[in-house]
Amino acid sequence: QVQLVESGGGLVQAGGSLRLSCAASGRTFRRITMGWFRQAPGKEREFVAAISWNSDSTPYADSVKGRFTISRDNYENTVYLQMNSLKPEDTAVYYCAATARVYGLTTLVSWDNWGQGTQVTVSS
């Protein structure tokens, strides 16, 4: 099991930036895939980005490609999501997730551990 705690959410104007952090503890962080999902009101939770244990693979959802960047620090057991050029449609609760899998990362069932979520609100 991996315990995940997100931070860094908040209220920002359209065009602004935020950086989310996710601190992990428990299972060996260095060998697991990490990811970010989000859930807007009335919508299903959706994939945002993922990062392999060695940062060699970083798939993104088309809706955030070029604006968001996922990264990780294996010494600090932390994964980050840098969000730039934010849009009102990025408003959602953002969840950090962890898995031992390396495929099927865009689907919810592939992920074993979840954080509690952090709210991101983008005003127009």
User: pLDDT tens digits, residue range 53-108?
Assistant: 999 999 999 999 999 999 999 999 999 999 999 999 999 999 999 999 999 999 99
Q: What is the mean pLDDT of residues 12-24?
A: 97
What is the number of helices (H) and of strands (E) in the chain?
0, 10
| Torsion sign (Cα): 113, 5, 87, 64 | negative
Q: What is the pLDDT of residue 29?
A: 73
Cα distance between residue 90 and residue 17, in whole Å: 11
Q: What is the pLDDT of residue 1?
A: 80
Can you read off the two tokens belonging to residue 4?
């995940």
DSSP string for residues in 37-106: EEE-TTS--EEEEEE-TTS----B-TTTTTTEEEEEETTTTEEEEEE-S--GGG-EEEEEEEES-SS-TT
Closest C-alpha among 89, 91, 69, 90 to residue 81: 69
Q: Find the length of the chain.
A: 124
Q: How many CB atoms lie within 10 A of CB 9?
A: 17
Q: What is the pLDDT of residue 30?
A: 75
Q: What percent of the chain has pLDDT over 90?
A: 92
Q: What is the pLDDT of residue 27?
A: 65
15 touches 85 (CB < 8 A): yes
Cα distance between residue 9 and residue 28, in whole Å: 26
Q: What is the pLDDT of residue 12?
A: 98
